[in-house]
Structure 1
Amino acid sequence: MKSRTKARCVALQVLYECDMTGHSPQEVLEERLLEDPMENVLADFSRQIIQGVLPITNKLDAFIAEHAPEWPMDQVAIIDRNILRIALWEFAVENCTPIKVAINEAIELAKMFGSDSTPRFVNGVLGSLANRQQEILQKLHSTLRGTT
C-alpha cells in the first residue's frame, strides 16, 4: 500500500469511529498510530485530514448531497460519507491533491472498506463534484472565512 494511501486509511478509520461512537478524534488517532506506527510525515497527513474534515463536515455533506440527490446523507453508509468527505476536502478545500488522484484514492478506499457498489457510487459523486471544483472552493473558503 502506498504511504499516503495508508495515511488516508488511518484518517478514514478515525473519522468512521468518531461518527459511530463520538470518541475524541485525537485519542482515536493516537490509538491507531500505536497499533500501526507510521512515519511522522504520514501521521501528520492523517491528522491534517481529520482536523480539516471534522469542523466542516456539514458543509462537505451539503455539497455531497447535491450530487447524490437519490441518496439522502442519512441513508449513505458512514464509511461512504467519510470517503467522499476526505476526497472533497483534499481537492476542494485544502487543494493538496490533484482531482484525479483524490478520486482514484477514494475509489481505492471504497474497494477496501465499502460495499460492492461503493466504488461506483464514490466515482460518480466525486466526478460530478470535480466538475464544480472552483465553485465549491470559493463557497467553502468564503464560509470558512465567515463571509457569504
Structure 2
Amino acid sequence: MAARRRARKRALELLFEAEQRGMNAGDLLEQRIAAPTTQHPLPEYAVQVVRGVLEHWREIEEILTTWSQGWTLERMAAVDRAALRIGVWEIVWNDEVPDMVAVSEAVDLVGTMSTDDSPGFVNGLLARVSEVKTTLL
C-alpha cells in the first residue's frame, strides 16, 4: 500500500508540474521516463495513473465540472485539481482500487500538499463521484 501511496504522490507532482509549466503532461511523463530527474525512476503505478488520467482527460474534466457544485476548475487549487483527476480516474476506471481508498488517498494528498479547506472539498466531491459512477459510464 505504501508503494501505491508514493506512486500517487509522484503522479500528482507530475500533473501539477506540467500544469504549472504550461506543458503537456504526456510529454513531461515521457521525458521523466526517458531521463528521471531523481535517482529513483517513476514507479510503474505513477506512470499508469498519469496515462490513465490523460486517456480519460475530457471525461474527467466533465465529471469534475458537473459535480463540483459552485466551483469551476479554474477556481480550484492546482494541487486539488491534480488530486481530483487522479481520484476520479481511480474511482471510475481503475477497478483494482476500492472507491473509498481512492477518496482517502486523494484527501491525504491534499491534506499535506494544499490548503486547510482542501481535504473536505476533495472528500465531498470524490464521495459524490463514487456514488454516481454507475451513471457516468
Give the TM-score of the pair, scaled to structure 2. 0.87
Name which of 25, 29, 40 aligns with 2:29.
25
Q: Percent identity?
A: 26
Give 1:3's aligned residue: 3
Give 2:115's aligned residue: 115
Q: 1:100 to 1:81 in 2, by over 3 A?
A: same
**Which amino acid counterpart does residue 94 of structure 1 have in structure 2?**
N
* Mapping for residues 106-145 of structure 1, pairs under 5 Å: 106-136=106-136, 138=137
Cα distance in 2 between the residues matched to 1:29 and 1:122: 29
* Structure 2 residues without counterparts, runs of 5 or longer: none
Superposition RMSD in Å: 1.9
Give 1:50's aligned residue: 50
Q: CA offsets per residue over residues 76-120 of structure 1, 9 Å max, x none?
A: 111111101101101201222100111110111011111110000
Structure 2 residue 40 is the aligned partner of structure 1 residue 37 = yes
**Which amino acid counterpart does residue 122 of structure 2 have in structure 1?**
V
Structure 2 residue 102 is the aligned partner of structure 1 residue 99 = no
Give the TM-score of the pair, scaled to structure 1. 0.81
* Structure 1 residues without counterparts, runs of 5 or longer: 139-148
Give 1:15's aligned residue: 15
CA contact (8 A) 1:89 1:95 kept: no
CA contact (8 A) 2:12 2:83 kept: yes
How many residues are treated as equivalent by the alignment?
133
Give 1:141's aligned residue: none
For residue 28 of structure 1, report the CA deviation from its aligned partner. Answer: 3.7
